[in-house]
């Protein structure tokens, strides 16, 4: 061992100093090792993460402490107490090794794209009081171990794919805030929830498979202020214990499955401010003690099944701002006590059965912004003090029995944007002051008894976009000042007493798309028509003159209706420049000459071509064989001659009338022509139908084998016999209000069943089943508009064949047993040896196909299209999920979606629908339907419908996806102009897959919208792609589709536009495309 020599010149205390330094250094290294242990744990987790932008680059192993790292917070002792990582790009899973972070109280890893599940090790982080893992891609079950965290106060897990609420959730006795919205939670809410005495916020909305009853134990959560269970499968009644929640301020349970009546105990919730229970199945009366909820500000109970009256006590809810009780079955008067609600901004009572008069007390609430009391049974006059509502923006009273005049004070409501008083019995003139409302956009006064003139002051209302004054008694001339309405898009003044010419100033209406002036006494058209017109209807007037060549400048025109006027001359060739035309009616005029061969170039002409009752002559050009999409062709009562070989090319014809011309030769030998009624070919002496390879004189009334002399002898006899038979048939007609009666007409036994009182003659119905009255065709028949002698209008479907009774019986069986506000209502049916007919409500605005392509009723408006899609989705969800057994429609397409007075949708044509059985305990449909059982329409049919694979409710979902695509793109599913010859579904999928600008695919009429609206449309198109998945099992159910459509809506037009949706905090829904 070497000898250590001391330096005699060094003082003894020097060695002590060196030893002290070494000891301190050792202690310092020991202390830093503890801090390094915290950092080491974090760095180990970092190794398992991938970050494209290296957002955790500050997590440097060379750092002395993790306390300076991004997202890490330490206390004064250097111990990690918070980790907060929000809105970062992190790819990886949650940590399992944070046990070393013994003082960690807050762990927030939110909106970071983290995947996997919650490790059970999280139950070891005993100091946690805040755990936020929201907006990630976590899935699986929430471990029961998590419920060991006795200090946990905030558990925020929303917007993931978790599957359960732990049964031991009640062990989290410190829990204050529990948010688990928008996951995949199934099962029931555990009863142990009642053990959470400190719980203030419970949000579990957006979990469609969270079901069962709301447990009685919820009433034990005595600190609860917010309860959010919207868009869930929670069913049954609210428990009476809900009244024990003395601190509750907000209850959101809309779009769930609540039924039965509201418990009276809910009125004990004296702190309640917001109650949103809309779109459920709640029945019974509004609780009588509602007035005890003095702090209630928002009450939304719309679209339920509630009945009874509105309690007078509601006037004691002094703080009420928003009241919506619409779309129920409420009766009785509107309570006068509502006038005491001095803070009320919105009152919506639409679509009920309220009666009595409108209490003037309501119009003393000067804070009102929206008043919607349409579609009730209100009578009497509009209160004269309506002018008090200076802040009013929406005023809807349409669809009542209101009488009297429009109050002179109404123009004092100068901020009104939407005013609709239609479908009442109002009289008198339109107050001139209405047109001084500088923001008025939509004015609808149709179907009243208004009289007087259209005042010239109308030209001052330059903000108008829609003006509907039809079906009144307005007279005088159309003021030229209307040419100042530069923003006008839709103008409807039909069925009035207007005289004179249409002003030349109309040429300045550059935005006008729809011009409907039918059934007046107008005498002339302007020389120049608005060039943006899509629809022009001036039928049933006294207009005299020729069609000017500049008609060809209307390049967007899809419907031209000039019937029943005094037009003369030839059809100008320039009309063929209107390449988008689908409907052309020139009947009952004085047109002459030959039909231009260029008409055959109208590839878009698919609805109707009516040239009847004119003076046309010559042969029909063979070029008309190009009208291969045409459904209705009427050439009757002219002087046409020649053969009709071109008709064999018109494969889509459903109605043809060539009677009373000079046609000759043979009609094509096909079933369609063989079954043509004699009335459709009568009056063509040299025309015969070939049947089974030879002439069949009987099919053509025998005209080809009967001489002119024989006709002269036989015709008077036939007329006399027909008159006698008609008289006898009329005499035998039994006119009764019974629901069921049997009628004999012309020797055929008629059996007619009515589901409500109707007064009509069956002869009148049959006589009006003509081509001019066709309004649509479907898989099982043609539909006609019939107006009875007493002025009622209904739709009548004539079945294609009397031999095939399946479609007829199916439609009666299904529509006679179901009721839904978006499904066509069957009024009755009739049948004899030769005909089978069905009676329906007449819906005046056509079908969805017309809405898209003709745009006469707002087709350019996304808001209208969205509401139509949502209504149809609700109808299909009702058929699939609420009918027992479920019902398949089988032919969902735009032509089978009809539109009512306010463009509300009605699903129609149930001729090939199918009632199916269900598997026990399963919502899927069991009965396999092969093609002979269930048809459809090409382009809309799901792949399994064409290949005879098992067909389920998901086949309807596919068809609905195609409908969405058609609505958004404006393209027919089999549009031949699509590039590469693909169908619409493939075209949309390819466009999304190519990552092109998604807005480029939209209908031209939908472009140029605001960014939020474009976003809505893109999201809706994404829903369509999910629906149209080639694999049926991967398609959503219709109730899921409804939820998706409703949640992507973020516009001021939505009912809940002013609401804070608890189930979607700060985040719009994102629908993932299958591509």
| Active site positions, annotated | 891
The DSSP line for 358-400 is: PPGGGGG-TT--EEE--SSEEEEEPPGGGGG-TT--EEE--SS
Residues 6+ apart with CB under 8 A from 168: 144, 147, 190, 192
CB-based burial, 1-24: b 16+ in 10 Å, e otherwise: eeeeeeeeeeeeeeeeeeeeeeee
CB atoms under 10 Å from CB of 708, counted, come to 9
CB atoms under 10 Å from CB of 132, counted, come to 21
C-beta of residue 410 within 8 angstroms of C-beta of residue 431: yes
Residues 422, 375, 324, CA angle at the centre, nearest 5°? 120
Give the orientation angle of helix 1038-1047 with respect to helix 1011-1027, to 10 degrees.
170
Of the candidates 183, 173, 181, 171, which has an alpha carbon nearest to the alpha carbon of residue 203?
181
CA distance 1069 to 989: 20
C-beta of residue 194 within 8 angstroms of C-beta of residue 172: no
The continuous run of DSSP H or E covering 915 comes out as strand 914-915
Residue numbering of the annotated binding site: 798
C-beta of residue 1074 within 8 angstroms of C-beta of residue 1027: no
Say if strands 793-799 and 836-841 run parallel, antiparallel, or are unpaired: antiparallel
Of the candidates 145, 138, 86, 87, which has an alpha carbon nearest to the alpha carbon of residue 114?
138
CA distance 1032 to 1041: 14
The helix/strand count (H/E) of the chain reads as 12, 62
Residue numbering of the annotated binding site for ATP: 798
CA distance 1047 to 255: 11
CA distance 945 to 597: 40
CB-based burial, 327-352: b 16+ in 10 Å, e otherwise: bbebbeebbebbbbbeebbbbbbbbb
Q: Which residue has the tokens 């189930």?
A: 1063
Is the previous residue joined to 885 through a cis bond, with omega within 30 degrees of 0? Answer: yes
Question: Strands across the sheet with 662-667, in order?
Answer: 544-545, 566-569, 590-593, 615-619, 639-642, 662-667, 686-691, 694-695
C-beta of residue 735 within 8 angstroms of C-beta of residue 743: no
In DSSP terms, 442 is beta-bridged to 418, 466
Burial class of residue 436 (count of CB atoms within 10 Å of its CB; 0-12, 13-18, 19+): middle
Q: How far lies 486's CA from each of 108, 145, 353, 507, 509, in Å?
A: 55, 67, 39, 10, 5
The continuous run of DSSP H or E covering 14 comes out as helix 13-47
Tokens representing residue 716 in the block: 């008077």
Q: Biggest alpha carbon distance in the chain?
A: 161
Tokens representing residue 1056 in the block: 């809940």
CB-based burial, 408-426: b 16+ in 10 Å, e otherwise: ebbbbbeebebbbbbbbeb
C-beta of residue 44 within 8 angstroms of C-beta of residue 96: no
């Amino acid at each position: 061992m070497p000898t250590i020599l001391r330096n005699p010149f060094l003082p003894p205390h020097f060695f002590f100093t060196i030893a002290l330094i070494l000891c301190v250094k050792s202690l310092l290294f020991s202390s830093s090792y503890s801090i390094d242990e915290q950092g080491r744990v974090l760095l180990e987790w970092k190794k398992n993460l991938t970050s494209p932008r290296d957002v955790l680059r500050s997590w440097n192993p060379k750092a002395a402490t993790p306390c300076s790292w991004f997202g890490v917070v330490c206390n004064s002792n250097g111990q990690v107490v918070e980790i907060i990582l929000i809105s970062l790009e992190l790819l990886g899973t949650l940590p399992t090794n944070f046990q070393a972070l013994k003082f960690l109280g807050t762990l927030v890893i939110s909106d970071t794209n983290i995947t996997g599940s919650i490790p059970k090790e999280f139950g070891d982080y005993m100091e946690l009081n805040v755990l936020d893992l929201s907006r990630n891609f976590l899935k699986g079950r929430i471990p029961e171990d998590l419920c060991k965290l006795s200090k946990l106060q905030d558990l925020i897990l929303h917007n993931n794919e978790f599957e359960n609420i732990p049964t031991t959730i009640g062990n989290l006795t410190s829990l204050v805030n529990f948010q688990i919205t928008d996951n995949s939670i199934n099962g029931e809410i555990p009863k142990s929830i009642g053990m959470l005495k400190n719980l203030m916020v419970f949000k579990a909305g957006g979990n469609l498979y969270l079901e069962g009853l709301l447990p009685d134990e919820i009433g034990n959560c005595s600190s609860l202020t917010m309860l959010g269970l919207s868009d869930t499968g929670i069913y049954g009644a609210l428990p009476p214990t809900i009244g024990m929640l003395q601190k509750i301020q907000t209850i959101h349970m809309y779009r769930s499955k609540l039924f039965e009546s509201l418990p009276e105990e809910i009125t004990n919730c004296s702190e309640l401010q917001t109650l949103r229970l809309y779109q459920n199945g709640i029945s019974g009366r509004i609780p009588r003690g509602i007035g005890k909820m003095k702090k209630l500000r928002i009450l939304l109970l719309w679209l339920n099944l509630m009945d009874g009256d509105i309690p007078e006590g509601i006037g004691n809810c002094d703080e009420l701002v928003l009241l919506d009780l619409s779309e129920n079955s409420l009766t009785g008067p509107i309570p006068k006590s509502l006038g005491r609600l001095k803070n009320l901004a919105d009152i919506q009572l639409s679509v009920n059965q309220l009666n009595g008069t409108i209490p003037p007390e309501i119009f003393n609430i000067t804070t009102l912004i929206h008043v919607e009391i349409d579609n009730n049974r209100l009578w009497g006059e509009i209160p004269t003090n309506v002018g008090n509502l200076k802040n009013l923006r929406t005023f809807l009273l349409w669809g009542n029995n209101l009488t009297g005049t429009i109050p002179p004070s109404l123009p004092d409501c100068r901020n009104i944007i939407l005013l609709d008083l239609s479908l009442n019995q109002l009289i008198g003139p339109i107050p001139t002051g209405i047109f001084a409302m500088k923001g008025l956009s939509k004015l609808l006064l149709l179907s009243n008894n208004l009289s007087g003139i259209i005042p010239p002051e109308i030209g001052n209302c330059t903000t108008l976009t829609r003006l509907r004054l039809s079906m009144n008694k307005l007279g005088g001339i159309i003021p030229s000042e209307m040419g100042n309405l530069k923003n006008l898009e839709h103008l409807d003044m039909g069925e009035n007493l207007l005289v004179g010419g249409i002003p030349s100033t109309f040429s300045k209406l550059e935005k006008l798309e729809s011009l409907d002036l039918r059934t007046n006494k107008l005498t002339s058209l302007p020389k120049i028509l608005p060039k943006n017109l899509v629809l022009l209807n001036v039928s049933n007037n006294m207009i005299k003159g020729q069609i000017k060549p500049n008609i060809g400048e209307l390049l967007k025109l899809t419907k031209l209706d000039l019937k029943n006027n005094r037009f003369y001359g030839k059809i100008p060739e320039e009309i063929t420049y209107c390449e988008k035309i689908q409907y052309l009616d020139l009947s009952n005029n004085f047109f002459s000459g030959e039909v231009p061969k260029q008409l055959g170039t109208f590839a878009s002409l698919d609805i109707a071509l009516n040239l009847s009752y004119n003076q046309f002559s010559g042969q029909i050009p063979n070029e008309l064989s190009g009208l291969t999409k045409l459904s209705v062709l009427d050439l009757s009562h002219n002087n046409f001659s020649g053969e009709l070989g071109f008709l064999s090319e018109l494969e889509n014809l459903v109605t043809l009338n060539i009677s009373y011309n000079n046609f000759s030769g043979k009609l094509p030998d096909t079933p369609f022509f063989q079954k043509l009624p004699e009335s459709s070919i009568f009056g063509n002496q040299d025309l015969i139908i070939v049947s089974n390879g030879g002439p069949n004189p009987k099919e053509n009334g025998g005209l080809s084998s009967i001489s002119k002399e024989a006709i002269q002898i036989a015709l008077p006899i036939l007329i006399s016999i027909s008159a006698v038979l008609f008289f006898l048939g009329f005499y035998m007609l039994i006119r009764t209000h019974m629901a069921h009666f049997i009628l004999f007409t012309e020797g055929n036994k008629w059996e007619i069943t009515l589901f409500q009182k109707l007064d009509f003659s069956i002869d009148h119905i049959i006589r009006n089943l003509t081509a001019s009255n066709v309004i649509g065709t479907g898989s099982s028949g043609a539909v006609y508009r019939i107006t009875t002698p007493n002025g009622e209008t209904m739709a009548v479907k004539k079945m294609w064949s009397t031999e095939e009774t399946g479609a007829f019986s199916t439609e009666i069986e299904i529509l006679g047993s179901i009721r839904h506000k978006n499904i066509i209502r069957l009024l009755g049916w009739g049948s004899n040896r030769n005909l089978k007919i069905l009676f329906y409500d007449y819906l005046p605005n056509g079908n969805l196909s017309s809405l898209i392509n003709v745009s006469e009723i707002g087709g350019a408006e996304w808001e209208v299209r969205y509401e139509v899609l949502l209504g149809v989705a609700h109808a299909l969800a009702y058929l699939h999920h609420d009918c027992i057994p479920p019902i398949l429609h089988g032919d969902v397409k735009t032509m089978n979606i009809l539109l009512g007075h306010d463009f509300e949708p009605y699903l129609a044509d149930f001729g090939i629908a199918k009632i199916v059985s269900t598997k026990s305990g399963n919502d899927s449909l069991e009965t396999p339907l092969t093609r002979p059982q269930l048809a459809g329409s090409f382009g809309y049919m799901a792949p399994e419908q064409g290949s005879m694979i098992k067909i389920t409710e998901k086949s309807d979902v596919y068809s609905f996806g195609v409908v969405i695509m058609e609505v958004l793109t404006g393209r027919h599913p089999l549009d031949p102009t699509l590039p590469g010859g693909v169908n619409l579904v493939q075209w949309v999928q390819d466009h999304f897959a190519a990552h092109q600008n998604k807005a480029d695919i939209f209908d031209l009429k939908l472009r140029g919208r605001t960014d939020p609206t474009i976003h809505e449309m893109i999201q809706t198109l994404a829903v369509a792609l999910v629906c149209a998945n080639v694999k049926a099992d991967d398609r959503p159910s219709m109730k899921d589709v409804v939820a998706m459509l409703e949640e992507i809506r973020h516009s001021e037009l939505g009912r809940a536009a002013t609401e804070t949706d608890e189930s979607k905090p700060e985040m719009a829904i994102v629908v993932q495309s299958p591509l």
